[in-house]
Structures are given as structure tokens and as C-alpha cells.
């Protein structure tokens, strides 16, 4: 698939759009159970915040502290390798713009914004099917673990690619879901060896997507260029204060990973009872495949449950984790009702 600024769709589908869900399913019971994102439904508890965090500009010293904590958490070589930003979304475009317009390759199928961001920076973008096809691209993009199928590439495979690419352009590794990936799969500690930029998302694992916080990990000269592009006060005072505490809370993270793994297995069991095949994912979401995906999507939506559809893969649905027992009950009841009607329709 080739993409450019001229042929890009005016808007891409994303999870979390409840206004669109209400338009699509106006008669559905409220509130919606939103399973259309891969965001942790069990958010980090917000600490009390001093009022002056909202009345003063963020202090540079606070951003320095945050970068140091993020370097330790994500395994970056030093604080100078870390760029805090208002979400990783903005970093996609800024990173692509560090390389003069040329050829970009995105390992797919994956998150659609990679293609759009590279195209907006002037690159001729191709979505490719194998890691070998990334070798000659000026900008090579990999999501690891991948969204939506959870595909995971090991560090040795990615480092071989980085070595083969040499000093050509940039290799961007989006590790938005690495908080629930294997501890040794991140390339955060390798960013000074090659032209690598690793992106880390704060909001997904900590369940605070509205805080808009992400990080780029790169060697200091690349990090400095990204920082300059962002300008001063890119991260808000409340975001700095909350994430400082959350990133340092190792015990919370450990307990949460165990909880998410248990709940992902519970979701697997619920889908299996409905004879829906799980074909991938992480402990924050599961990718399911069924020839009746359109029918199931509409059935769930009519009951007030929103999952993620993929028009380019009409047999896929992505399920996030319910955040409460009430939401679990609604999902299981809706799946059971769909199975009964589906079996009846086949009879």
C-alpha cells in the first residue's frame, strides 16, 4: 500500500470515540462499555496536586527529574537520551521530520497513524509485510509489541536490522505496549548504538491517556533535536507531577501486570465460550477473528458495548478489557446472546 499526503483518508478510525458510537447506536443502553481501546481500565491512583501546578508554568527542573526517572524506568542510557512530550502521537510526526523527505516503510498491518505521520513529513510511505523490507527505507517504523495483533520482535532481530541499516535515516520503534511485554524486549538501552528512536507511551499502561504524555528515547543529539522541535513547556505541570510518582511506583506496576494477565485470560475464556478465535494481542487487548465480525460488532454495539473494527480486515475485532464486574457481566451476557442467535441463524 502506498500513501501520500494527497491520497490520505481525511480521517482515520480510532478507538475511544464514544460520540461516534452514540450516533451509530442511538438506542443502545447507556453508559457504553468502551472496549475499543487498549488503555488500562484500572488507572493509576491520582496523587493530591498542589494548586500552583495549574497556575504556574512547569519548572524546567521538574522536566529534568521526569526525564531521569523515565530513563531509569525504560532503561535508557541517561537522562540526555529522554524527551518527554505531550503524548507519543506528536512524536511520530516530529521524528519522521528529522529525516529529509524520502522513502518510509512501516511494518504492517499496524496502527494507521504511522503511515499518516510519515506522509505528512513528506515521505513516500509503503506498508511492508516483512522486516527485511525495512532495510533500505530512510524511515523504518516498527510497533513492538504490535497493535492490533501483538506481534513481538526480539531485540536481536531488531538490532541486526539496525546494524544492516548503518547510518541510513532513522529506525523508529514504537513500544507503546511494551509495559506489558517481555522485560528484555525493549530497545531502550540500545538507542546510543544506532540511529534508533524508541517511543514509549505513559497513558496506556497507567490508564491515564487523557494526561497526554509520552517519551522518545534516542541518542543525545537526536533527543536534542526533538526537544528543540517541541519547544518549552511541552509537558504540563500536573502531567509531570503525576508521572514522576507513577513511573517510580515499581510495586504498583508489578501488581498491575499480574492483574492484566489474569484479566486477559478471562477475556480469552469469554471469547472461547462464544467460539470466537483469539489470534493475537497483549494483556491490554485481544485480537479476535470471525467471519461474522460485522454482525458481532453491530450486536455488541446495540447492547452498548463498543469494540474496535478494522475495515481493511473485516474479519477482525479488537477487544479491550472491561473495567468492572458490571462491565464483565454485560459483555458475557451480550456474547452469550449473540451465540444463541448466531447458532439459531445457522440452523
CATH number of residue 271's parent domain: 3.90.1150.10
Residues 260 and 240 placed together within one structural domain of the fold: no
Residues spanned by the domain of 275: 16-38+251-346
Q: For residue 7, is it within any domain?
A: no
The pLDDT of residue 20 is above 80: yes
The predicted pLDDT at position 341 comes to: 86
End-to-end CA separation in angstroms for the chain: 40
Stretch 84-108: mean pLDDT: 97
When the pLDDT of each residue in the chain is averaged and rounded to a whole number, the result is 93
Q: For residue 30, is it within any domain?
A: yes
The predicted pLDDT at position 246 comes to: 98
The pLDDT of residue 122 is above 50: yes
The predicted pLDDT at position 3 comes to: 43
The predicted pLDDT at position 342 comes to: 78
Residue 13 pLDDT class (50, 70, 90 cuts): low
Q: For residue 273, is it within any domain?
A: yes
Residues 241 and 176 placed together within one structural domain of the fold: yes
**Domain boundary pick from 226, 248, 270:** 248
Note the helical H segments in 83-154: 88-96, 113-120
Residues 243 and 256 placed together within one structural domain of the fold: no
The predicted pLDDT at position 16 comes to: 84
Helix 113-120 to helix 88-96 angle (10° resolution) is 40
- In this predicted model, which residue has the larger pLDDT, 83 or 8? 83
Residues 270 and 334 placed together within one structural domain of the fold: yes
Residues 63 and 197 placed together within one structural domain of the fold: yes
Residues 76 and 167 placed together within one structural domain of the fold: yes
The predicted pLDDT at position 232 comes to: 95
Predicted TM-score (pTM) of the model is: 0.93
How many structural domains compose the chain?
A: 2
Q: Rounded CA gap, 347 and 343, in Å? A: 6
Residues 226 and 96 placed together within one structural domain of the fold: yes
**Domain boundary pick from 221, 248, 275:** 248
The predicted pLDDT at position 138 comes to: 98
Stretch 255-280: mean pLDDT: 97
**Domain boundary pick from 248, 278, 293:** 248
Amino acid at each position: 500500500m502506498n500513501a501520500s499526503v494527497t491520497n490520505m483518508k481525511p480521517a482515520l478510525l480510532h478507538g475511544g470515540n464514544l460520540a461516534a458510537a452514540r450516533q451509530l447506536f442511538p438506542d443502545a443502553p447507556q453508559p457504553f462499555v468502551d472496549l475499543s481501546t487498549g488503555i488500562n481500565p484500572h488507572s493509576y491512583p491520582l496523587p493530591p496536586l498542589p494548586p500552583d501546578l495549574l497556575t504556574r508554568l512547569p519548572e524546567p527542573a521538574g522536566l529534568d527529574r521526569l526525564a531521569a526517572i523515565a530513563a531509569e524506568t525504560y532503561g535508557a542510557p541517561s537522562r540526555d537520551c529522554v524527551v518527554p512530550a505531550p503524548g507519543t502521537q506528536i512524536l511520530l510526526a516530529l521524528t519522521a521530520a528529522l529525516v529529509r523527505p524520502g522513502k518510509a516503510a512501516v511494518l504492517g498491518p499496524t496502527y494507521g497513524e504511522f503511515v499518516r505521520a510519515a506522509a505528512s513529513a513528506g515521505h513516500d510511505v509503503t506498508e511492508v509485510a516483512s522486516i527485511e523490507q525495512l532495510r533500505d527505507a530512510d524511515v523504518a517504523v516498527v510497533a513492538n509489541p504490535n497493535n492490533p495483533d501483538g506481534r513481538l520482535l526480539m531485540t536481536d532481530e531488531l538490532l541486526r536490522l539496525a546494524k544492516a541499516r548503518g547510518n541510513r535515516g532513522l529506525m523508529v520503534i514504537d513500544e507503546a505496549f511494551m509495559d506489558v511485554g517481555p522485560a528484555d524486549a525493549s530497545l531502550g538501552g540500545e538507542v546510543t548504538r544506532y540511529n534508533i528512536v524508541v517511543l514509549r507511551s505513559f497513558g496506556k499502561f497507567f490508564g491515564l491517556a487523557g494526561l497526554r504524555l509520552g517519551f522518545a528515547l534516542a541518542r543525545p543529539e537526536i533527543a536534542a533535536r526533538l526537544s528543540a522541535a517541541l519547544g518549552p513547556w511541552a509537558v504540563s505541570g500536573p502531567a509531570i507531577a503525576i508521572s514522576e510518582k507513577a513511573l517510580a511506583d515499581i510495586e504498583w506496576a508489578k501488581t498491575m501486570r499480574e492483574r492484566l494477565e489474569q484479566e486477559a485470560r478471562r477475556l480469552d475464556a469469554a471469547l472461547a465460550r462464544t467460539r470466537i478465535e483469539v489470534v493475537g494481542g497483549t494483556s491490554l487487548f485481544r485480537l479476535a477473528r470471525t467471519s461474522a465480525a460485522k454482525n458481532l460488532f453491530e450486536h455488541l454495539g446495540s447492547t452498548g458495548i463498543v469494540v474496535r473494527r478494522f475495515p481493511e480486515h473485516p474479519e477482525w475485532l479488537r477487544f479491550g478489557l472491561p473495567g468492572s464486574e458490571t462491565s464483565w457481566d454485560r459483555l458475557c451476557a451480550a456474547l452469550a446472546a449473540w451465540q444463541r442467535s448466531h447458532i439459531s441463524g445457522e440452523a
